[in-house]
Structure 1
Amino acid sequence: MAVIDTLGLPNTKGRRPLIVAQVVDALGTGLFLPFAVVYFHAAKGIPLTTVGLMLSAGALLSLPAGPLGGRLIDRLGPRRVLVSSNLLRVLTFTAYVFIDTPLQLVGLVMVTMWGDSLFRPAVSALVAQVADDGHRARWYAMDRSLRNAGIGVGGLVGSTLVGWGGTSGYTAVVVLNAVSFLAAAGLVATWRPSAVPPPAGADPVPAGKAAGEPRGGYREVLADRPFLGVLATVWVFALCDLALTVLLSAYVIEGRGLPAWQPGMLFAINTVMVVLAQTALAKAVERHRRPRVLQVAAVLWMVSFVLIALVPREHVGLAFGGLVLGMVVFTVAELLQAPTSSALIVGMAAGHLRGRYLGLEELMWSLAKVLAPTVFTWLLARGAGLPWFALCLCCLAAVVVLQRLRRVLPARVQRETVRG
C-alpha cells in the first residue's frame, strides 16, 4: 500500500473490473484513432475533403449528446449509461464494415460521437461514486494515465495491422475496436458494486433516482453562477488541450517549415510523460486548493505557448530544442489541469445533479472540438504565432475567473480532505 500511495494511485480493491474495462476500451480506441480520417479514404474510397465534412457534420450533430447524457446519468445511473454508450459504439463500428456511402457514414459518425459524448461524463460520474474520500483526483489521474498507455499500445498494433494487411488491415482495426467496446461493456455490466464499501457520505453506487431524492434540472445547474465560471475555464482548457492534436503538426510543418518527424517525437514525449507522471503529480497537488492548481496550469500553458511560438525557422536543431521544452511545460500544465478540473466539477455538484454538471462539461469540450479546427487554421494562415498568442489571452482570462472562484467557492469544494 505504501508503494501505491507513493505512486499516487488510489485504492482499487473491488474495482479492478472497471480498470480493466478502461484499459480494453483505450486499446480499442488506440487501434482506430490514428486512422479515423484515413480509414474512410483508403478503405471506403471517399475523398479526403468529403471525409473532413463528414466528421465536422457528425461533431455538430452530436452537440446535444452531453447535456442529454447528463440527464440520463442522473435518472438511470452512470453504470447503465456507460454500458449503453459502449454498446452503441459496438453497433456503429460493426456497421462501418458494411456501409460505404458518405450520407450513411455521416449518420454512423454522428451516432459514434453521441456514444463518445455519453461515455465520458458517465465514466466521470462512476468514478465519483466509487472513489474513496479525497482520492477522486487520483482516480481521474489514473484513468488518464491508463487511457494514454492503452491508446499508445493500440496505435502501435493498429499501425502493424494496417502496414501488414492494407485495406484488410483497416477492416481488422475497425472490427477489433468494436470487440473492445463489447468487452468493456461486459466487464462494467457484470461488475458487482456491492463488493465495494461506499465512501463516507457518497451516493449509493447503483445510482438511480431513489424515493424522496431532491428533484432538479438544468435550470438549477445554470443558476449556479460559480459553476458557469468553471465552465468558461473548461472551454479554455479544452482549446489548450486540442492545440496538441489540431494545431501542433500544422504549425511545425507548415507554419515553421520544420521536418515532418518532429511532431511525432513531440507527441511521444507528451504520451510518455502522461503515462509515467500523471498519478504522482496528482498526488503531489491534492492538498492544494483546486482553483489555485488550475491557475498554475493556465500560467504554465501560457509559458509553453510562448516557447512554441518563438522557435526559429532557420535552425532545425535549436527549433526542436525549443519545441521539446515547450512540450514538457505544456504536458505539466495538462497533468495539473485534467484531474483537478474533473474533481472540482464533481465536488461542486449535488449528487442528484452530478450527471448534468458533467454533461455541461462535455458540451464545453464538444464546442471546443467544433471551433478549434476552424479557428486555429484561420489564425495560422494569418501568422504562425497568432494561434499561440490567442491561446495565451484565453489562459489569462481563465486565471482571472479562477481568482474570483477562489473567493466564492466553499473550502470543501476547493480542496477535499485526503484520507487513508
Structure 2
Amino acid sequence: MAVIDTLGLPNTKGRRPLIVAQVVDALGTGLFLPFAVVYFHAAKGIPLTTVGLMLSAGALLSLPAGPLGGRLIDRIGPRRVLVASNLIRVLTFTAYVFTDTPWQLVLLVTATMWGDSLFRPAVFALVAQVADDGHRARWYAMDRSLRNAGIGAGGLLGSTLVGWGGTSGYTAVVALNAVSFLLAAGLVGTWRRSAVPRAAGAGAGPAAGTAPAGDAADRQAGGYREVLADRPFLGVLATVWVFALCDLALTVLLSAYVIEARGLPAWQPGMLFAINTVMVVLAQTALARAVERYRRPGVLQVAAVLWMVSFVVIAAVPGDHVALAFGGLVLGMVVFTVAELLQAPTSSALIVGMAAGHLRGRYLGMEELMWSLAKVLAPTVFTWLLARGAGLPWLVLCLCCLVAVVLLQRLHRVLPAHVQRETVDA
C-alpha cells in the first residue's frame, strides 16, 4: 500500500471491473479517434468539407445531451446511464459499417456524440459514489492516466490495421470500437456496489446503479433551477469553459500553428503530442496526490498561470530556426501538460464537492455542457484568430486564463473549507 500511495493511486479493491471497463473503452476510442475524419472520407467517399459539416452538425445537435444526462444520472443512477451510453455507441459504430449516405451518417454521428456526452458525467458521478473518502481526485487522475494510455495503445493498433488493410482496415477499426463499447457495457452492467469493502462505521449508502434517496427532494427543489441558483458554481462553470478552450488548443490549434503559421516541419506536432501523452500517463496520479492537501481554487489558479506561461513560450517560437523552435515548443508543451495535470482532476473533484448528492448528475451535466460549447466554438474561433496573426489565439487564451484566476480568487472567499480541500484519510 505504501508504493500505491506514493504513486498517488487509490484503493481499487472491489472496483477493478470498473477500471478494466475504462481501459477497454479507451482502447476502442484510441482505435478510432485518429481516423475520425479520414474514415468518412477514405472509407465512405465523402468530401472532406462535407465531413467537417457533418461533425459540426453532430456537435451542435448533441449540446443538450450533457444537461439531460445529468438529470438522468440523478434519477436512475450513474451506472445505468454509463451502460446506456456505451450501448448507444455500440449501435452507432455498428451502423457506420452499413451506410455511406451523408444524412444518415449525420444522425449516427449525432447519436455517437450524445453517447459521449452521457458517458463523461456518468463516469465522474460513479467515481464520486465508489471512491474512498478524500481520494476522489486520485480516482479522476487515475482514470485520466489510464484513458491516455489506452487511447495511445489503441491509436497504435488502429494505425497498424489501417496501414495493413486499407479500406478494410478502417472497417476493422470501427467494428473493434463497437466491440470495445459492448465489453465495457457488460463489465459495468454486471458489477455490483456490494463488491466494494466499506470502512468500519460507514453507512450502506445508495447502490451505484440506483437513483439516490434524495430524488424526491430534488424534484421539490426544482432540479436545474437550484443548480443555476448556485452563484459560486456559475463562476466555476466559467473557469471550466476557459480550461476547456486551453485544453482544446492542443488538438485544434497546435498543429495548424506549428505547420501553417510558423512553417515548421510536420513531424514536430506529433512529437509534442507524444510528450503530452507520456507525461499524463506517468505523472498524473503522483501529481494529483502531491496537491491534494492544497485548496482546489488555488491549485486551479496555478494551472491557469502555467497555461499562460506555456502560451507565451509557444507564441514566441521563431519560424526560421527549426531546432530552436522545437526546443521552445517542447518547453511550452511540458509547462502546458503540467497545467493540464493540475487542472483536470482538481476541477472534477471541486464540482463534485460543491454538488448536493441528489444534484450531482446535474452539476456534472452542466460541466459537460461547457465542454461541448467549447468544442463547438474552438475550431472556428481558433482558426479565425490564427488567420489574423500567429500569436493572436495564444494572446486571447492568456486573457481568458487571467479572467479564470480572478474568478478563482473570489471562490477562495466564498466556498466552504470542505469543498475547497477534501479531507484525506491517513
**Normalised-by-shorter TM-score class:** over 0.9
| Aligned partner of residue 213 in structure 1, secondary structure | helix
- Residue 211 to residue 403, structure 1, CA distance change in 2 (3 Å): closer
Residue 202 of structure 1 deviates from its aligned partner by: 8.6
- 2:275 and 2:302 mapped to 1: Cα distance? 21
Counterpart in the other structure of 1:384? 390
Deviates more, 1:207-216 or 1:126-135: 207-216
Residue 161 of structure 1 deviates from its aligned partner by: 0.1
| Conservation of the 8 A alpha-carbon contact between 2:218 and 2:358 | no
| Conservation of the 8 A alpha-carbon contact between 1:215 and 1:352 | no
| Conservation of the 8 A alpha-carbon contact between 1:270 and 1:328 | yes
- 1:74 and 1:215 mapped to 2: Cα distance? 13
Residue 196 of structure 1 deviates from its aligned partner by: 1.2
Determine which of 285, 289, 292 is the counterpart of 1:286: 292
- 2:156 and 2:145 mapped to 1: Cα distance? 17
| Conservation of the 8 A alpha-carbon contact between 1:252 and 1:258 | yes
| Conservation of the 8 A alpha-carbon contact between 1:216 and 1:352 | no
| Conservation of the 8 A alpha-carbon contact between 2:214 and 2:358 | no
| Conservation of the 8 A alpha-carbon contact between 1:121 and 1:358 | yes
Residue 209 of structure 1 deviates from its aligned partner by: 4.0
- Cα shift readout 1:142-183 (whole Å, capped 9, x = no counterpart): 000000000000000000000000000000000000000000
| Aligned partner of residue 98 in structure 1, secondary structure | coil
Measured on the aligned residues, the alpha-carbon RMSD in Å equals 1.4
- Cα shift readout 1:186-216 (whole Å, capped 9, x = no counterpart): 000000111214xx57952988847999754
| Conservation of the 8 A alpha-carbon contact between 1:291 and 1:403 | yes
- Residue 124 to residue 29, structure 1, CA distance change in 2 (3 Å): same
| Aligned partner of residue 211 in structure 1, secondary structure | helix
- Residue 12 to residue 382, structure 1, CA distance change in 2 (3 Å): same
| Conservation of the 8 A alpha-carbon contact between 1:297 and 1:336 | yes
- 1:201 and 1:57 mapped to 2: Cα distance? 46
| Conservation of the 8 A alpha-carbon contact between 1:77 and 1:207 | no
- Residue 207 to residue 102, structure 1, CA distance change in 2 (3 Å): farther
Counterpart in the other structure of 2:272? 266
| Conservation of the 8 A alpha-carbon contact between 1:128 and 1:136 | yes
TM-score by length of 1: 0.98
- Cα shift readout 1:334-392 (whole Å, capped 9, x = no counterpart): 00000000000000000000000000000000000000000000000000010001000
Structure 1 unaligned spans of 5+: none
- 1:336 and 1:342 mapped to 2: Cα distance? 11
- 1:249 and 1:208 mapped to 2: Cα distance? 47
- Cα shift readout 1:101-138 (whole Å, capped 9, x = no counterpart): 11000000000000000000000000000000000000
Residue 399 of structure 1 deviates from its aligned partner by: 0.0
Q: How many residues align?
A: 418
| Conservation of the 8 A alpha-carbon contact between 1:73 and 1:355 | yes
Determine which of 393, 399, 403 is the counterpart of 1:397: 403
| Conservation of the 8 A alpha-carbon contact between 1:76 and 1:207 | no
- Residue 328 to residue 86, structure 1, CA distance change in 2 (3 Å): same
Counterpart in the other structure of 1:363? 369
| Conservation of the 8 A alpha-carbon contact between 1:270 and 1:331 | yes
| Conservation of the 8 A alpha-carbon contact between 2:75 and 2:212 | no
| Aligned partner of residue 8 in structure 2, secondary structure | coil
- Cα shift readout 1:397-419 (whole Å, capped 9, x = no counterpart): 00000000000000000001100
- Residue 62 to residue 247, structure 1, CA distance change in 2 (3 Å): same
| Conservation of the 8 A alpha-carbon contact between 2:218 and 2:359 | no
TM-score by length of 2: 0.96
- Cα shift readout 1:27-48 (whole Å, capped 9, x = no counterpart): 0000000000000000000000
Residue 315 of structure 1 deviates from its aligned partner by: 0.5
| Aligned partner of residue 217 in structure 2, secondary structure | coil
| Aligned partner of residue 363 in structure 2, secondary structure | helix
| Conservation of the 8 A alpha-carbon contact between 1:127 and 1:136 | yes
- Cα shift readout 1:271-291 (whole Å, capped 9, x = no counterpart): 000000000000000000000
- Residue 149 to residue 92, structure 1, CA distance change in 2 (3 Å): same
| Aligned partner of residue 134 in structure 1, secondary structure | coil
Percentage of pairs with the same residue: 90
- 2:357 and 2:91 mapped to 1: Cα distance? 31
- 2:231 and 2:282 mapped to 1: Cα distance? 36
| Aligned partner of residue 218 in structure 2, secondary structure | coil
Counterpart in the other structure of 2:83? 83
| Conservation of the 8 A alpha-carbon contact between 1:300 and 1:332 | yes
- Residue 206 to residue 181, structure 1, CA distance change in 2 (3 Å): farther
- 1:154 and 1:20 mapped to 2: Cα distance? 15
- Residue 131 to residue 202, structure 1, CA distance change in 2 (3 Å): farther
Structure 2 unaligned spans of 5+: none
- 2:338 and 2:394 mapped to 1: Cα distance? 17
Counterpart in the other structure of 1:132? 132
| Aligned partner of residue 123 in structure 1, secondary structure | helix
Q: Which runs of 4+ in 1 moved over 6 A?
A: 205-208, 210-214
| Conservation of the 8 A alpha-carbon contact between 1:76 and 1:208 | no
- 1:206 and 1:122 mapped to 2: Cα distance? 14
